[in-house]
Structure 1
Amino acid sequence: MVKRNQTSASVGRPREFELDQAVRKAMDVFWTRGYHDASLPDLLEGMELSRGSFYKAFVDKRGVYLRALDAYIEDAVRSVGETLHSNPSPKAAIREAFSQQVDQASGTEGLRGCFVVFAAVEMLPEDKEVAPRIFRLFRRLQDLYAAAIIRAQALGDIDPGLDERTLARFLVCQIQGMRVLAKAGADRAETRAMVELALKALG
């Protein structure tokens, strides 16, 4: 009985932690090749899955693409949220969040660009499943920055007369624009200069 259960598990649907690993490997494939140019053989090789395990876990290429996009979005929101709560000074935390973006927009990682921006350029506006995901990501990031701005305003570190939603939207737009320019070849000094200018909006 034990042997049958073990055999069944080995050829059945991958376990959850294996699925998460496979999704992140698929993300690398889509990030490199794009959704439309990533073939099933590309995905099977990159994810290290058999064809049968792939179909049992994800059904099709679109299924794993949406899972990969969701994983990237959750990682991004969690990382920014943690950073914005990492310092007793909300204004300093915002600066730290931007510093991390400079790191991500530098060197090889910068040239690779942002997976969500890549998805937006390739898939929008026609894709009705990808579009709301990207919209929600930017909304959630704006919410995080707006909350940090409100906390800073309460401490007197940011002008309370500034509208937190508009300022948060501006910051998120600056980050995404910075990632695009980095992919186009902007160096670290140029990226840092853009950040310093954007942060002046905080007062």
Structure 2
Amino acid sequence: MPAQVGPVNNEQEGLLGFLAQMRFVIRLTAYGLSEEQLRASPTASELSVGGLIKHSASTEENWLSTIRREPPAVDYAKYAENFKLADGETIDDVFARYDRVAEQTEKTVTELGDLNYEIPVDDAPWNRKDLTHWNVRWILLHLIQETARHAGHADIIRESIDGATAYPLMAAAEGWPETPWLKPWKKAEV
């Protein structure tokens, strides 16, 4: 996926395009990492690259359940587990889940065809008390914001692990040619 979202012809296409871009960016933080590095938490928090990607997939999955008026996909009592790769869980497992969630999000939004479609606000303590409903537009904007926030967290963790940053990683993942001002990331020789 290129570093920029392509032309946008309408609001729905733009929202889904920017959400897809943020999914790509957060997934990119895992590029070239070992299983051990994906689980590493080298900063002041317990966050890891793999855990943040898993959490982003879980968050989108829960909002998709909200749009569909289904029970939450993730049990809030197990919220902290969504920030860590479980024993035996691989990044490929998480990517496959994220792909399924993304496909279902795009399918659901496209089938609804109404960004104003209203969904009642639940009683989670972090939700605004002055609102009675969300709409699909708000949910997509929130998912873009949430995914971008966690992509930033994952960027910092990734940089703490091996010094890699977003554009060199993107250049390596996408096969961009080296330029005088941008060198694709390469795994350090050990």
Same fold (TM over 0.5): no
Q: Whose Rg is larger?
A: 1
Q: What is the TM-score when the length of structure 2 is the normalising length?
A: 0.29
